[in-house]
Structure 1
Amino acid sequence: MDYRDVLREIRKKRMDEEFILPNYEGFSIVNLSNSILDHFGIPTFHPPIQLGELLGHGVENRRKVVLIVVDALGYVSFKRLIGKKEFKYVNRTFFPITSVFPSTTSVALVSISTASTPLEHGILGYILYLKEYGSLVNMIEFSPPGMGRDSFLKRIDPTRFLKRRTVHQILEERGIKSLVISASIFKNTGFNRMLNRGARMIPHHGLGDMMITIKKILTDLMGDVVVSAYWSLTDTVAHRKGPNSQEYEAEAFWFLKAFETEVIEGLPRGILKDTVFLITADHGQIETPQSREVWLKDGDEVIEELVLPPAGEQRMMYLYTKDVNTTVEKFISNYDGMMELIPSVKAIEMGLFGYGDEAPHSKERVGDLVLIARKDYSFNYIYTGQEKSLQGRHGSMSEKEMLVPLIIVSLE
């Protein structure tokens, strides 16, 4: 099976010509995380991706696994990059897989960390209405919109908020070392403490530091080891400059080049033969021109139909309505062709958020209606007045947002 076969399989599962559905059945970041459990003989929650089948050779005897998540490295962007730039390893074996819905960092990283679907873990958006606390909360910042990072920690214990065990906890219970490398600025944040329970946290201070840290861990630690590393700046550059920009391309190129140079070419052959490297992303991004931005505020006709400000984000919103039919009518009257409105109950039944046992509060966190932006439109609610235009966004189900690469580096 090559990348074209996987792409055809993924494209069979779609809502319409524009929207790709998450492939929780076998080719998503949820399945990839389950592959790590399966690699060590641990029962999985969802079907794992069979890495040996994709590679054409077995990896079951390798005692070290490195998972690198490059924020916003979409499959479309990666394919364009390897067509223009020279690489030695990351362009050898790669496949498309899907993100989750919504295609956003808070949801995707928790799905990877817990090997579960959004429906199962309950972190269903960037901004969520947490009814049990009576507040909208930014789930990355752990704070209501407009307030300082982690200000909600006075009310939420991040180590207890997530009701599912993490992959790190499961691995450690089996005697498998689990380490997480992420930027030092994230080390003690509420989100990181929730996300990485059970892992040994190692902060990095830049690209070179991350790569050398990976290399040192693989050199120094014996036995079964899983290393998870996260790089955020590709997403930052894509938001500010656009995913089609030279700046984004340079950021993605030098990250992958540093991996090849410092890690692959810097490790002894014996360690490389005992390690499988998996590089993926939480989501992609799509260019969102300023001319296609819809700005919403209190007093607008459509917002007057809501009982709460919209939750979600700029390419996907959860709407809490006074009357569903009236709200649908008003949104279609103003924005027909620019978005899709789906009753939240139907979105759950369609499997947009995945399958499995629902986490507490999952249903109430997706409101009455799900708004999904079409084409390159974005819907921006003014919470604080500090919101700015962005060149790139994500959250919807276009191929550019939904498809991410699975790059496998496994030297024989």
Structure 2
Amino acid sequence: MTAPTAIRRLNAADADFARHLDHLLSWESVSDDAVNQRVLDIIKAVRERGDAALVEFTQRFDGVEAKAIDDLILDRARLELALTRITPVQREALEKAANRVRVYHERQKQDSWQYTEADGTVLGQKVTPLDRAGLYVPGGKASYPSSVLMNAIPAKVAGVSEVVMVVPTPRGEVNELVLAAACIAGVDRVFTIGGAQAVAALAYGTQSVPQVDKIVGPGNIYVATAKRHVFGQVGIDMIAGPSEILVVCDGQTDPDWIAMDLFSQAEHDEDAQAILVSPDAEFLDRVAASIAKLLPTMERAEIINTSINGRGALIQVRDMQQAIEVANRIAPEHLELSVADPQAWLPQIRHAGAIFMGRHTSEALGDYCAGPNHVLPTSGTARFSSPLGVYDFQKRSSIIFCSEQGASELGRTASVLARGESLTAHARSAEYRIVDDQDQGQ
């Protein structure tokens, strides 16, 4: 393994701190022209040739010997078989995690509502689940059964009638844990296709793959690029950047714990970002020592090393108040408040995908089984985005019912505003329904 270099150190007191922090956080998840054109060509082929294109691309890109689309479809019985092929311990863990995710997301469910005004006008909101959702799941060795639970269960809680999962099986490699998770989460149909072609199939439909209303789930640059291109035809969850963790610590947590928490995100990939903020300079030194000590023991040491040295940092701040200010500036995907009284600081946190409270709450628990969703906004988008949830699989329709009196009263207001915008038909449409006060009295 390459010898670890010293992790970047920043100090909020330095005059050029803001510039260095901006450089550290900068991330452009932009596809190059070659990737973009390849994805557009794939989408076009799937739209024009449907199943035949899916079979061809799966043979070419995944090395799967599929002769027809039927070879790429897994029925419910195959998902149930996967439950018998995993170990009892694995099944128990999946079921426990699924139950916790389901219980948490049940609380997010929104219901329709209405209220009636004095004149009989009724206003409200009708909440309706999407008809069909598509779930993209990475396949092969980089497979994530936890993502199946986190994406499929909120859809089912929302009342989505059909959840369609696509998962590539490179060289025919099927991950039984992923299929077992799909079974437990209530996935209705599974197609063993991946890449931009799978996104295109879900967005536009083929002879066999049904068209969905929204596509969720993580993928590589081709998947992300395809999701960008089909947005508008279907909804998407987000275009996710590399995983991130920001730990705010008062200096009293075991430095080995903090180092491993940083590793837990750095091991995702070389572009992942792990940052520690603390007012205690000596504690930062101890964590740096823990990083050097523990790194050689990690299976993904090379990936962690590249991530930590390329995009990681230990940041010294004046006090805990400034630590919170820095955290809000970063708006991280995962924020650990590894402090004595996290509840006291919580009201000041404005921007974070998920907030892990206290010394004993590792981010890893949120990834798998705590209950809240692990699909979170990255790259500073927590400033305006939220975790994936039940609300992502529900639509809201406005309800407006006007009584005769209500239509007359509102019509006067609408008429003035419409004529102010020179939209005469709007005005006259409203005016037709205005009742004279004399008529109302009769």
TM-score by length of 1: 0.32
Higher helix share: 2
Which structure has the larger Rg? 2
Higher strand share: 1
Q: Higher RCO, 1 or 2 (CA under 8 Å, sep at least 6)?
A: 1
